[in-house]
Amino acid sequence: MRNARVYTGIEMYPFIHIGHFSLPTFGLMLWIAAVAAALLVDRGFRRAQIDADAVGIVAITVVAGIVGAKLWHVLDTPSDFRELGWQVLYDSAGFAWYGGLVFGISALVFQGWWAKIGGLRMLDLAAPAAALGYGIGRIGCFLSGDGCYGIPTNLPWGMSFPKGIDPTVVRVHPTPLYEMAAGILIAAWLWRRAGKPHATGAILGQYLLLSGIARFLVEFIRRNPKVLWGLSNAQLASAGAALVGVALMVWAAKRPAEEPVQPVTAVVEKPA
């Protein structure tokens, strides 16, 4: 946009400095997202009366997701690898959500099979936490100004990131905040739906559909390069995820719904 205004922007905090120690805000929010996801998964397990280690499951999934997000970023932007070499894998910026999604899903399916919960049921149980963790993680992107913001805008809430990891002095769409709001809303919806009768796979299908639509739409105002049919890599992956989600929902709709397991209340007999 030619008439995009230049201004000083708001203060970004890529790092919190404590004495001689510098704490990356992205890493801090990633940790908070993992804790919040673990708490929600644990609550989901308790609601379904499943005896499993939610913290351990989420920890393994987060590590797998980080590895996948980094590898996807390298494949998606090979120029970064050519410029920085293997150092790109340790950089605090450059995480591709769909890489994290693929590796995270794989880790959850394996752990669901290992714990005899079932891979698809595990994904249903983890879907609300995945949406919540994603939303919280985007706060880290916003605070650090890591470059995942949008195109220039003159809207009242447009922001610049002059002191971010990937700085810009032009007013742009704060897309991490859009994605934060979408993630939290999707998490709330999925949590509510998971508490009602549903067939296995239905919650995962809704997660893939809703998150796919949200990411597809926000990509129109993000500055990612277009690769096919005027769409970015993330939009193509989003469309694929949404289609898989619809297919899962149709498949689940043909199966009998399972009543959520209700906690058993102990009956204490009064002494005669």
Domain parsing of the chain, residue ranges: 15-253
For the segment 53-66, the average pLDDT, to the nearest whole number, is 85
Q: Decide if pLDDT at 179 tops 80.
A: yes
Give the tokens for residue 30.
Answer: 């990633």
Of the listed ranges 41-45, 81-85, 142-146, 157-161, the one predicted with least confidence? 81-85
Percent of the chain with pLDDT over 90: 25
For the segment 222-245, the average pLDDT, to the nearest whole number, is 85
Q: Output the pLDDT for position 264.
A: 40
Q: Output the pLDDT for position 50.
A: 87
For the segment 111-139, the average pLDDT, to the nearest whole number, is 90
CA atoms of 208 and 97, how far apart (whole Å):
13
Of the listed ranges 83-87, 180-184, 247-251, 268-272, the one predicted with least confidence? 268-272
| DSSP code of residue 266 | P
Please state whether 235 falls in left (phi above 0), alpha (psi between -120 and 50) or beta: alpha
Q: Output the pLDDT for position 14.
A: 67
Q: Decide if pLDDT at 7 tops 70.
A: no
Average pLDDT over the chain reads 79
Higher pLDDT, 214 or 257: 214
Chain Cα centroid distance, residue 134: 3
Ordered DSSP codes for 160-216:
EETTSSS-EEEEE--HHHHHHHHHHHHHHHHHHHHTS-B-TTHHHHHHHHHHHHHHH
CA atoms of 35 and 47, how far apart (whole Å):
18
pTM attached to this predicted model = 0.78
